[in-house]
């Protein structure tokens, strides 16, 4: 229990600590933040090892009273899905911080405070077992991310930061209304006992009538779909990605977007199953559109970072498709795909950032034949690119295969066309990524600016190698990670199938 609290609060303590370091000691600030984030990672790994994956319920649960009159408490806990996302967060953050050393050259003190606050908020979102606490963390993330894009971003940073802020806020305020409504609906049948306790609401919400579930589902789904982002709510993402500094993009792609898909499972699917059955097809359809649309738009980009940003829209489509399928394979695939996307897209953004630091441009046409001058970089970039394409043996394949498999055999979706069409997304991914890679890395190096680029530094190795390890690990032996969420997923699907069909292969044997 102490470990869970440490994982959550260490970044906050770090942010407070940075405040006391003089702002001219940038080296000290950088090192302090890095050490702190690595320490958080170590703590979370120990926690990960202590987690009992055979138990489908929440573990390490704590419940401390906070605001008595609305029954909001400091309630946190983790199940398998949460655990994977927490470790993903604590793993990505040190790498993002390390990459900041090269990319952030002004106002370092404020920057590291914001990054650590961001980590605190993201961990909190995944851990919260109280709708009020969840909302507070959800909104808390807006402030640091807004500043990270707005202060340290590129040319159109103000536009991108504001767009990010407003889009997210529109969704989340409606979610707030839904949260309040849910609490009041609970109070109506429990002698006026208003509550924000997610564990109680999880039991209660599925018993609501369809109409109510439907409106609540839509309010929550809007907020989460903006965050994922699901087509057609995705337009903030390319702007935010392109304008954000490299570490900002890594965090955004690596962790922030997963809050949306996490919410879809944790809230929409678990709490409003009737509405979920009703809207599954719609969700799947939007996912398929996202997969194909994202891929097609990525194909015509001339800016590498924008290309990777649109590929995110496409890849997250698979996650949403897996969720909509409501099968064990689909959901498990979605969960592992969340982790995969964090790793492979995060790594792609890092590679793009490394090229940008050397050449200060992201235009594909400015590059060509980079392999000749940066052979070591080329190897690692290839791995990231192939992981993103979904080559068997690397992580991307596992997630995409499972989500497609799950949606193909789903009893909740009306047609198998979703999977058939989505499969084309895998081919498109190969097209746009390989084509980009070819134009950037191969060919003749005839641009005089590209003749003397330095190959990877030690620090850059330190960022990329850990990612490669996990990319290969998940690709070859995904069970290490997937077993964590297996039981909770089976329990969830069992519940859903019983609700819809009366029987289930995953009935919980007690």
Partner 1 sequence: MHIDVILAAPIVFVSLMATASMVLDALKTKENGKTIFLFSIYVLMATFVLSALTFSPNSHFGLVALLSKLGLASAPETLPSGEMLTVFNGMVSVGGYGCFFDMIFTLGGIMTILAARPFLESEKLEHSEFYTLILFAVAGMMLISHATNMLTLFIGIEVMSVTFYILSGYTRTNEKSVESSLKYFLLGAFATGFLVYGIALIYGATGSMDYATIASATHGDIRFPTLLLIGIGLMIVGLSFKTALFPFHQWAPDVYSGAPTVVTAFMSTAGKAAALAAFMPIIQVSLPAAIAYDGSNKIQMMLAVISALTMLIGNISALVQKDVKRMLAFSSVAHAGYLLMGLVAANPEGRSGIMFYSASYLFMQIGSFIILSVLERSGQTNHSLESFNGLSKKYPILAALMSIFMFSLAGIPPFAGFFGKYYLFTAAIHANFTWLTIVAVVSSVISVYFYIGLIVNMYFKESQEQEHESQPGLAAISLVLSTAGIIILGLLPSAVLSIAQASFGNH
Q: State yes or no: residue 181 binds partner 1 (CB under 8 A).
A: yes
Q: How many other CB atoms sit within 10 Å of the CB of residue 294?
A: 28
Is the CB of residue 270 less than 8 Å from the CB of residue 276?
A: no
One of 16, 35, 42, 166 touching partner 1 (CB under 8 A) = 166
Is the CB of residue 426 less than 8 Å from the CB of residue 390?
A: yes
Is the CB of residue 292 less than 8 Å from the CB of residue 242?
A: no
Nearer to partner 1, 165 or 481 (CB): 165
Strand partners, 62: 76
Name the minimum Å distance from CB 452 to partner 1.
32
Residue whose pair of structure tokens reads 């330095």 in the numeric block? 454
Nearer to partner 1, 124 or 317 (CB): 124
Tell me the per-residue interface mask from 429 to 468 with partner 1, x by CB under 8 A, - otherwise: ----------------------------------------
Nearer to partner 1, 23 or 376 (CB): 23
Name the minimum Å distance from CB 162 to partner 1.
7
Q: Which residues contact 195 (CB under 8 A, 6 or more apart)?
A: 71, 183, 186, 187, 201
Nearest-angstrom CA–CA distance, 443 and 371:
9
Q: 166: helix, coil or strand?
A: helix
Q: 123: helix, coil or strand?
A: helix
For 141, 202, 299, 393, the CA distances from 187, given in Å and listed in that order, are 30, 14, 51, 51
Name the minimum Å distance from CB 136 to partner 1.
4
Nearer to partner 1, 157 or 358 (CB): 157
One of 1, 35, 184, 434 touching partner 1 (CB under 8 A) = 184
Q: How many other CB atoms sit within 10 Å of the CB of residue 453?
A: 17
Q: State yes or no: residue 126 binds partner 1 (CB under 8 A).
A: no
Residues 394-433 that bind partner 1 (CB under 8 A): none
Tokens of 32: 């302090």
* Crossing angle of helices 395-408 and 458-476, rounded to 10°: 40
Q: State yes or no: residue 163 binds partner 1 (CB under 8 A).
A: no
Name the minimum Å distance from CB 420 to partner 1.
39
Name the minimum Å distance from CB 88 to partner 1.
24
Q: State yes or no: residue 170 binds partner 1 (CB under 8 A).
A: yes
Which among 25-33, 66-74, 95-103, 250-258 is the span making contact with partner 1, rule CB under 8 A? 66-74
One of 104, 117, 161, 389 touching partner 1 (CB under 8 A) = 161
Q: State yes or no: residue 140 binds partner 1 (CB under 8 A).
A: yes
Tokens of 433: 């990524």
For 242, 306, 479, the CA distances from 157, given in Å and listed in that order, are 9, 14, 41
Q: How long a stretch of residues is the chain?
A: 510
Which among 145-153, 246-254, 341-349, 459-467 is the span making contact with partner 1, rule CB under 8 A? 145-153
Nearer to partner 1, 181 or 417 (CB): 181
One of 3, 28, 142, 431 touching partner 1 (CB under 8 A) = 142
Tell me the backbone φ, ψ of residue 76, rounded to 5 degrees.
Answer: -135, 160
**Number of residues located near partner 1, criterion CB under 8 A:** 33
Nearest-angstrom CA–CA distance, 293 and 287:
10
Residues 67-96 that bind partner 1 (CB under 8 A): 67-70
One of 5, 21, 143, 299 touching partner 1 (CB under 8 A) = 143
One of 135, 318, 377, 481 touching partner 1 (CB under 8 A) = 135
Nearest-angstrom CA–CA distance, 354 and 342:
18
Among residues 327, 229, 312, 211, which one has the least CA distance to residue 269? 327
Residues forming contacts to partner 1 in the complex (CB under 8 A) are 66-70, 132, 135-136, 139-140, 142-143, 146-147, 150-151, 157-158, 161-162, 165-166, 169-170, 173-174, 176-177, 180-181, 183-184, 194
């Amino acid at each position: 229990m102490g470990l869970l609290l440490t994982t959550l609060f260490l970044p906050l303590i770090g942010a407070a600590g940075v405040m006391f370091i003089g702002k001219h000691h940038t080296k000290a600030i950088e090192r302090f933040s890095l050490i702190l984030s690595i320490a958080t990672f170590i703590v979370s790994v120990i926690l990960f090892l202590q987690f009992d994956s055979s138990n489908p319920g929440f573990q390490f649960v704590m419940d401390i009273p906070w605001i008595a009159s609305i029954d909001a408490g400091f309630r946190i806990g983790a199940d398998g899905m949460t655990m994977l996302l927490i470790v993903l967060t604590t793993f990505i953050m040190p790498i993002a911080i390390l990459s900041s050393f090269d990319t952030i050259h002004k106002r370092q003190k404020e920057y590291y405070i914001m990054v650590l606050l961001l980590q605190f908020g993201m961990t909190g979102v995944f851990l919260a077992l109280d709708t009020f606490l969840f909302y507070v963390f959800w909104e808390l993330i807006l402030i640091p991310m807004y500043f990270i894009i707005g202060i340290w971003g590129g040319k159109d940073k103000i536009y991108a930061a504001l767009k990010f802020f407003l889009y997210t806020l529109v969704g989340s305020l409606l979610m707030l209304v839904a949260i309040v409504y849910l609490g009041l609906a609970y109070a109506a049948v429990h002698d006026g006992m208003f509550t924000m306790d997610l564990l109680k609401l999880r039991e209660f919400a599925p018993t609501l009538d369809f109409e109510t579930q439907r409106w609540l589902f839509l309010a929550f789904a809007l907020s989460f779909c903006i965050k994922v982002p699901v087509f057609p709510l995705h337009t903030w993402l390319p702007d935010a990605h392109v304008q954000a500094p490299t570490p900002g993009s890594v965090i955004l792609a690596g962790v922030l977007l997963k809050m949306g898909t996490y919410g879809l499972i944790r809230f929409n699917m678990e709490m409003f199953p009737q509405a979920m059955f009703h809207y599954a097809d719609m969700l799947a359809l939007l996912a398929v559109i996202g997969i194909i649309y994202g891929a097609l738009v990525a194909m015509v980009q001339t800016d590498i970072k924008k290309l990777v940003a649109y590929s995110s829209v496409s890849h997250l489509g698979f996650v949403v498709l897996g969720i909509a399928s409501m099968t064990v394979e689909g959901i498990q695939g979605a969960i592992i795909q969340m982790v995969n996307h964090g790793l492979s897209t995060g790594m792609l953004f890092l590679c793009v950032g490394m090229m940008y630091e050397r050449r200060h441009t992201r235009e594909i046409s400015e590059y060509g034949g980079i392999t000749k001058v940066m052979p070591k970089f080329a190897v690692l970039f290839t791995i990231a690119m192939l992981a993103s394409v979904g080559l068997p043996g690397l992580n991307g394949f596992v997630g995409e295969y499972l989500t497609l498999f799950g949606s193909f055999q789903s009893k909740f979706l009306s047609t198998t066309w979703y999977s058939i069409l989505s499969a084309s997304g895998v081919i498109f991914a190969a097209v746009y990524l390989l084509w980009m890679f070819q134009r950037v890395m191969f060919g003749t190096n005839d641009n005089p600016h590209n003749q003397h680029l330095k190959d990877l530094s030690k620090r850059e190795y330190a960022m990329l190698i850990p990612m490669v390890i996990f990319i290969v690990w998940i690709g070859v032996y995904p069970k290490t990670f997937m077993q964590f969420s297996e039981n909770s997923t089976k329990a969830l699907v069992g519940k859903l199938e019983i609700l819809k069909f009366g029987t289930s292969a995953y009935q919980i044997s007690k």
